[in-house]
Structure 1
């Protein structure tokens, strides 16, 4: 009798990276949530479909602390794919996994480290902007994030692509995706593009979707800013 070998179904694994937004639990829960709720009122739906990680920054003291943070965010529609900055002993199988090795979108390292034990602390100065220049087309599904300054794109931003900047966004080409400015520097930020076809525009948490953008600005060079808690679009 001839032996017959049967091959089971083939399962393929691929390594793939995704851009995640990280929320930092850098204060008491009640005060942090109060600020977060104000932000959500101005930008409802901002976290819908986003990959979100919560960084406890070593502030969680108990498993109950971790559970409460996760639960409060879940009630606000923020579902976490992972957590950072927490002892593994405070996490169980019902919680998002503890992540390791994450990197900020942009990183600034200074070499003028001082000994805090011997050097008096100086008032903290505002961080200097660190701007990003991208000289290529941003395709659907891609994200460009620079929370420390402006983002300048020399090329188009395709539908389904996303640009997030701490400061302003400059697009020298068609802006067909999502542009979110002022994530760090607030209302000082603006958005500029040479051809507007955007799915979403946002500055300092105030946004408009494609349905809310006047057709008169479609295909035009525009400037987007905020005034009196309103997103303003003006032709250039």
Structure 2
């Protein structure tokens, strides 16, 4: 009986350890922005959205009109408005859930919705930054290849692509080619104004138009 109890204790400890390891995994969830990716993917191209999954939640970066957090939280592999493609395990973090929450709230202060830019600061730049800070590893290059090419050849890109920010990221939906091109029209210049507590509460709770997405409240330095 003593041997059995020791065996059970060992098994329980191993299960707890495995659970802790699994919870610390850093996973990149990749989504298609358009069904055209089914063809572009095999040539090493595509228009992708990505989110970083840690401790059972997925975090992404999207645009809105306010100088406040553009980092949002969703259920893993279920970001509204995108077509889930695949998950890639990047590594593992030793951060506890509470430590990671503090980390992601600090990052939210660096990724405001009104700073989103298709070429220089998009959702894939965000996941790449999170991954590098957590585990010292960048996301696969193909996920954000079009933006990297755009940055290298910005002088050749239409002005609309160089200055556009994508509004209300979680509200992407299937659309025609004409509608997609129209969505890339130059954004109206915006002034970065302060956001009060009531505006922020409304933004964090309902700006995406879906209960499945919640913006992360940023840590503010006083």
So what's the TM-score if we normalise by structure 1?
0.23
Report the structure number with the largest CA radius of gyration: 1
Indicate the structure with greater strand content. Answer: 1
Higher RCO (CA 8 Å, separation ≥ 6 residues): 2
So what's the TM-score if we normalise by structure 2?
0.24
Indicate the structure with greater helix content. Answer: 2
